[in-house]
Homo-oligomer: A and B are copies of this chain.
Amino acid sequence: MTLDERIALLGQSITFSSLTEEEMVELAGLCRIRSLNAGEYVFMEGEEPDWLYMVAEGRVKVLKHSSQGKEFIISFFGPGEMFGEVAIFQNRPYPASAQAVSELKVIAIKRDDFHTFLRNRPETVFRMIHVLSGRLRDAQVRLRDLAAERVEQRLARVLIMLASRLGPVLPFTRQEIADMVGTTPETTIRLMSKLKEAGIIASSRGRTEIVDEARLRELSEGLQPM
């Protein structure tokens, strides 16, 4: 992969889009590219954090396993999005695993190189803070939901959240959605079947389309149950 290609990829990210030409070149010089097949892990929870990653092509899921091995999906990331930052800023093991969902290309930057690069880029550092703050905000909303809302509403909220990031067509299986909502595939299927009947979503194998977001929003508020 050429330098120009790497620069183009870095530019996709909000965090780096403010860099000058020159800075881009410098940063691109620090990058390595890794290609992975679906199912392969970029890193595993507990590993030493040597690299910061950004998605170039494809999608990753970041997940944690429970004590009984069930998986919980913290987030999906697509092109231009960064992951693994928590670990490299704290210099402690990755708190979760990252797995390729599809064919995946990631840009990797060595921890120390990145720290050095950030030294004199206050603007970029502030953008990183912004990203971290956003994730913390989202995490707090989800914590509250998991602790206090019922599955129906949590499902609705996950669908809305995904739609706001990816548009109305969501390329996920019921299993994956269940792992984001924190429930079982069966329950997810049952609820989504109802949503389908009610004309709120449409779906086929591995694909869900939000048809009536307004009604989904009502459900997510829990105003009236289905």
Contacts and interface: CB of A to CB of B under 8 A. Distances in A.
Contacts of A74: 140, 143-144
B142 A143 contact: yes
A221 B68 CA distance: 9
Interface in A173-209: 181-182
Contacts of A143: 64, 72, 74, 139, 142-143, 146
Interface in A78-107: 85-86, 89-90, 92, 95-96
A165 interface: no
Contact of A144 (B72, B120, B136): B72
B146 A67 contact: no
Which secondary structure characterizes the binding site on chain A? helix
Contacts of A122: 119-120, 122, 125
Interface string A112-151: 0000000110100110111011111101111111111100
A106 to B, nearest CB: 20
A138 to B, nearest CB: 9
Contacts of A141: 64, 95
A148 B86 contact: no
A153 interface: yes
A42 B105 CA distance: 46
Contact of A130 (B89, B148, B181): B89
A89 B182 contact: no
Interface in A32-68: 64-68
A184 to B, nearest CB: 11
A126 to B, nearest CB: 8
5 contacts: A66-B145, A72-B144, A86-B136, A86-B137, A125-B129
